[in-house]
Amino acid sequence: MTRRLPPTDAVIIGLGWTGSILAQELTAVGLNVVAIERGPWRDTATDFPTTYAQDELRYHIRHDLFLRPAQETMTFRNNANQTALPIRSWGSFMPPNGVGGGGTHWNAETWRFLPSDFRQRSHNIERYGKNFLPEGMTIQDWGVTYEELEPYYDRFEYLCGTSGTAGNLKGEIKKGGNPFEGPRSREYPTPAQKQPYGPTLFAKAAIEMGYQPFPQPSGNLSQAYTNPLGVTLGPCTYCGFCEWFGCGNYSKASPQTTILPILVRRPNFEARTLCEVVKINLDPAGKRATGVTYVDSNGDSWEQPAELVLLCAFQLFNVQMLLWSGIGKPYNPSTNEGVIGRNYSYQVTSSVNAFFDEDKIFNPFISSGSIGMCVDDFNGDNFDHGKLGFIGGGYIGAVQTNGRPLQSTLTPKGTPSWGAGWKQAVKQHYLHAYQTVTHGGCCSYRDAYLDLDPTYTDAFGRKLLRITFDFHENELKMSQHLTDRVAEITRAMGPRQLDKFPRTGHYNSTIYQTTHTCGGVVMGDDPQTSALNRYLQSWDVPNLFVTGASAFPQNAGYNPTNTVAALAFMAADAIVNQYLRSPGPLVQA
Amino acid sequence: MAIHRRDLLTGAALGLILSATSAKARIIAGALPWEPGSGTPPIPVDAGPWKFFTADEAAAVEAIVDRLIPPDADTPGGKEAGCAAFIDRELAGTYGSARRLYMRPPFTDGSPEQGPQSPLTPAARYRRGLAALDKYCRQAYGGKTFVQLSDAQQDTVLTGMQKGPIAFETVSATGFFEQILANTREGFFADPAYGGNRNMVGWKMIGFPGARYDYRDWVERHNEPYPLPPIGITGRRP
């Protein structure tokens, strides 16, 4: 039996970054907000104190902060001719769980996308012609421009205290920053983090080759910072336990360190943890969300009616919730019609391992999740693709984020995987090896999509989400090109041996790459090819907004969180200043 | 708010579905719900007898981990580092039972890109794998067990499991090998609280300072050896 609770103004599904941002913005104008989170409450002092946050086995190897696959997972196949099988243990990406979501255990790399990224289809056709885009590629414009999003990027960076060096201040190119970035309205809130030896050597080599390296924008702060809400973050200690871990120093920007201490004290806010939303409820006409139904950890079922439903879960679970709830037309790859599950994309990463003589000591354990020196000459359309035969790109750089011994003991190609040879190689190279990386975008394609699996179910008996995805030639060519470029710079650092690992072959769900899964509930200006309008409002159900990277029509060559958060701020602004005055569609289809 | 906290806190039906711990649904409102002593620090493993392995199994595992990471003049091997004890405690716990993983049927082999699809838990894979290894060695080496083989013979068997031609009937030899190799590395490099990496031999071997957590005074001291020895999360020193 489901018990009905008193109505509230807004119900939020998932209390991660975007749920916290929306809750903060809506409670600030007086709305009553209930956030429902299937994971536990988490705070710094209790859950990742400096006394045991730095536990590689528990957090990195055994995935302690993440969702349990036993609770929810997906099935996967490379193409529609295969039978999808369940991802039984996390591999290529790490779905978050609990209050703070991915914001608790990200690396805090806080990039903005390029202005041309938001018009990727139009931009590339204008420059290279329509025939340059391969058959089956379904990239599209976002329906929002960089200029429109800039104030919201700024909001998030000043919420977080992001550490960096501006490269483009109101159109003026600044020395030391990223000369390719879109214009920013003001400097970063805090100066860039200090750089250890590896990034410094990389930057020196890059400058000698004519590039303009710059410090990676970091949500691990170079100095203490008090944000506009009055919450203070501490300086990063370069502890080397960032991604996969909570931060014990209050120095990594997260909902816990930027929003929750203020939000939770508001009388018009309430969070319910270890409560799993099973469905968004609709009125009989299917045109209006009436609230959500959730199950608590006792197994008791509750209906929470609400005027507004804000779906703020992780990208994959946003898609799944809409499919379970019957909202929006499911995507059909054979007809290329429907929108829910359409344009699933990812991130195309690669690396180069360089092995030096013992006169170079890198101390890889001295690192934060987002230190590093980067080169952006090969991102987006910052370079001429005319003769290269692909579109898109990524940043390249020296951004090694840790020296944890289970994850980051590099050995040269040809080293045995065990025995005396392995042991000797690990010992010899740990302090004297350095990894550089590429972080490339990923286009969307007609045959890469999400739907519900016909066979496998979760603990509640609901169908698992099915991922059908593989890399395409465009992305593999891009990865080869980016890897060759970063290898040239890395070689100039003077290694004895250099091993290149461009992304090749099929997408592999068992090898960690990034958690930047994208798309499936994309935004745009046409309801035939998008599920959401530019304000992340459902075309079909106007009192439903869906945040997260599920809105990305394709992925750019940067880490997504800053853009995810900026879109959430823009949606919040639209709700407060437009929707609440006149509830209904904010864009006429 | 008409919903009462008590309503959310009674009962226990789906607690295991929603959480890895016995934590219960709760309402967070009005204040940050911090309580002293509510964290979950790791419980250092005790030095007592084997919890999962039989004596024969333990002897075989100690021999295996000492070939995967053999001792040398400077650093102990997997056996002395406690890798077998580490694996024993892991198999006796959550990891061994695969309680956190998706273990629902049907189990169908797929492509390598789709990942392992075995219904076996890690604990079951060890039990079967060690029994199959024992049977194989006795047949191939005139009744000898793995422990009784020479170093070279042991390496031949391990290589045969990893790359073929050795195959077991009840479990994938390659899958078992890959699992024990991964677990051995874990035992060599994980925090000593878990029973391996005894005396921080793994960390000392490579120069990893462990749980120090603050390098602000060293981040810009480029190309200099870091001077401090490792420390563990329980405050332990080598």
Q: pLDDT tens across A343-356, in order? A: 999 999 999 999 99
Nearest-by-CA chain A residue for B180: A418
Rounded distance between C-alpha atoms, residue A253 and residue A108, angstroms: 7
pLDDT at B15 over 60: no
Asked if residue B86 is part of any domain, the answer here is yes
Give the one of B21, B111, B218 whose C-beta lies nearest to A366's C-beta. B218
- Whether A298 and chain B come into contact, CB under 8 Å, resolves to yes
pLDDT at B12: 35
Which stretch of A38-42, A330-334, B47-51 has the lowest confidence by average pLDDT?
A: B47-51
Q: CB–CB of B14 and A78 under 8 A?
A: no
Helix (H, G, I), strand (E, B) or coil at A547: coil
Hey, are the CB atoms on A427 and B205 less than 8 Å from each other?
A: yes
* Chain A residues in contact with B185 (beta carbon < 8 A): 406
- Residue spans of the domains in chain A: they are 2-579
pLDDT of residue A501: 98
- The per-residue pLDDT for B79 is 98
Q: What is the pLDDT of residue B22?
A: 53
| Active-site residue, A432 included | no
Of A89, A248, A431, the CB nearest to B207: A431
For an interface test with A, which of B219, B221, B226, B236 has the most A Cβ atoms less than 10 Å from its Cβ? B219
* Option in A68, A267, A418 nearest B20 (CB): A68
Mean pLDDT value across residues A54-78 = 97
How does the average pLDDT of chain A come out, rounded? 97
Residue of chain A with shortest Cα separation from B151: A419
Residues B162 and A480: their CA atoms lie apart, in Å, by 30
- Among residues A123, A429, A439, A516, the one annotated as catalytic is A516
Contact B100 A297 (CB under 8 A): no
pLDDT band of residue B238 (cuts 50, 70, 90) is confident
Chain A closest-CA separation from residue B96 CA (Å): 11
Contacts of B42 in chain A (CB under 8 A): 52, 55, 58
What is the phi/psi pair of residue B71, to 5°? -70, 150
- Average of per-residue pLDDT values in chain B: 91
What share of chain A has pLDDT > 70, as a percent? 100
Give mean pLDDT, residues A99-114. Answer: 98
Q: Closest chain A residue to B120 measured between Cα atoms?
A: A88
Q: How many other C-beta atoms can be found within 10 angstroms of the C-beta atom of residue B214?
A: 12
Longest dimension (CA), chain B: 76
Which of B102, B108, B217 to mutate against chain A (most A CBs within 10 Å)?
B102
Q: β-strand A394-398 against A373-375: which pairing, if any?
A: antiparallel
A418 exposed, middle or buried (CB, 10 Å; 0-12, 13-18, 19+)? buried
Q: Is the ipTM of this complex over 0.85?
A: yes
Q: Give pLDDT, residue B18.
A: 46
* Subunit contact A420:B75, Cβ cutoff 8 A: no
pLDDT band (50, 70, 90) for residue B181? very high
Of the candidates A147, A141, A144, the one whose C-alpha atom is nearest the C-alpha of residue A182 is: A147
- The pLDDT of A428-435, averaged and rounded, is 98
Structure tokens at B120: 């076996």
A-interface mutation test, from B213, B220, B221, most A Cβ less than 10 A away: B213
pLDDT at residue B7 tops 50 = no
Q: Which residue of A has its CA nearest to B16?
A: A297
R_g of chain B computed on alpha carbons: 22
Rounded Cα gap, residues A260 and A252, in angstroms: 14
Task: Please tell me which residue of chain B has the smallest CA distance to A420.
Answer: B70
For the residues A162-191, what does the mean pLDDT come to?
98
Confidence of residue B46 (pLDDT cuts 50, 70, 90): confident
Burial tier of A358 (Cβ tally within 10 Å: 0-12, 13-18, 19+): exposed
Show which of residues 158-187 on chain B sit within 8 Å of chain A, judged by CB atoms: 158, 162, 181, 184-186
Residue B13 binned pLDDT confidence (cut-offs 50, 70, 90): very low
- What tokens does A234 get? 């501490």
CATH number of A2-579: 3.50.50.60
Q: What is the DSSP string of A95-142?
A: -B-STTGGGGTS--B-PPPPGGGGGHHHHHHHHH-GGGSPTTB-----
The residue segments making up the domain with residue B187 are 55-100+118-205
- Comparing B14 with A230, the larger pLDDT belongs to A230
Q: Is the pLDDT of residue A214 over 80?
A: yes
**Do the chains contact at B67 and A418, CB–CB below 8 Å?**
yes
For the segment A370-413, what is each residue's pLDDT rounded down to a tens digit?
999 999 999 999 999 999 999 999 999 999 899 999 999 999 99
pLDDT reading at B5 higher than 80: no
Q: Is residue B79 domain-resident? A: yes
pTM of the entire predicted model: 0.96
| Total number of domains constituting chain B | 1
At residue B16, does pLDDT exceed 80? no
- Residue B2, pLDDT > 60, answer no
Per-residue model confidence as pLDDT tens digits over A78-98: 999 999 999 999 999 999 999
Facing B215 at nearest CB: one of A302, A366, A510: A366
Q: What is the pLDDT of residue B21?
A: 47
A301: nearest CA in chain B?
B8
Does A423 sit within 8 Å of B69, measured CB to CB?
yes
Would you state the pLDDT for residue A315?
A: 98
Whether pLDDT at B60 is above 80: yes
Q: Mutating which of A277, A301, A363, A460 best tests the B interface, going by the most B Cβ atoms within 10 A?
A: A363
Half-sphere exposure of A122 toward its Cβ, with a 13 Å CA cutoff?
10
pLDDT band at residue B37 under the 50/70/90 scheme: confident
Is residue A395 within 8 A of residue A113, CB to CB? The reply is no
- Residue A294 is predicted with a pLDDT of 98
Which tens digits make up the pLDDT trace of A515-546?
A: 999 999 999 999 999 999 999 999 999 999 99
Which two tokens mark A70? Answer: 């036993």
CA–CA distance, A307 with A61 (Å, rounded to integer): 42
Q: Which residues of A touch B64 (CB under 8 A)?
A: none
Q: Do B69 and A418 touch (CB under 8 A)?
A: yes
User: B11 in contact with A at a CB cutoff of 8 Å?
Assistant: yes
Q: Does B120 touch chain A (CB under 8 A)?
A: no
Residue range A159-169: average pLDDT? 98
Query: Residue A509 and residue B13: Cβ atoms within 8 Å?
Result: no
Any domain includes B37? no
Cβ B206–A459 below 8 Å, yes or no? no
Question: Are B233 and A55 a contacting pair at CB < 8 A?
Answer: yes
User: Which of B28, B38, B213 faces A46 most closely, judged by CB atoms?
Assistant: B38
Q: Using one digit for the tens of pLDDT, what is the confidence trace for A437-474?
A: 999 999 999 999 999 999 999 989 999 999 999 999 99
Range 544-573 of A in CB contact (< 8 A) with B: none
Cβ contact, residue pair A70, B38, below 8 Å = no
CA-nearest of A525, A363, A380 to A439 is A380
Chain centroid to CA A92: how far?
13
The pLDDT of A54-83, averaged and rounded, is 97
pLDDT reported for residue A289: 98
CB A557 within 8 A of CB A438: no
For residue A580 the two structure tokens come to 């609440």
Residues B157-167 have a mean pLDDT of 97
Q: Which of residues 25-64 of B touch A (CB under 8 A)?
A: 25-35, 38-42
Q: Is the pLDDT of residue B47 over 90?
A: no
pLDDT for A322 beyond 70: yes
CA-CA distance, A228 to A512, in Å (whole number)?
Answer: 36
User: Would you say residue B17 has pLDDT above 70?
Assistant: no
**Residue B62 in 3-state DSSP?**
helix
Task: Provide the 10 A C-beta neighbour count for residue A107.
Answer: 26
CA distance A557 to A438: 9
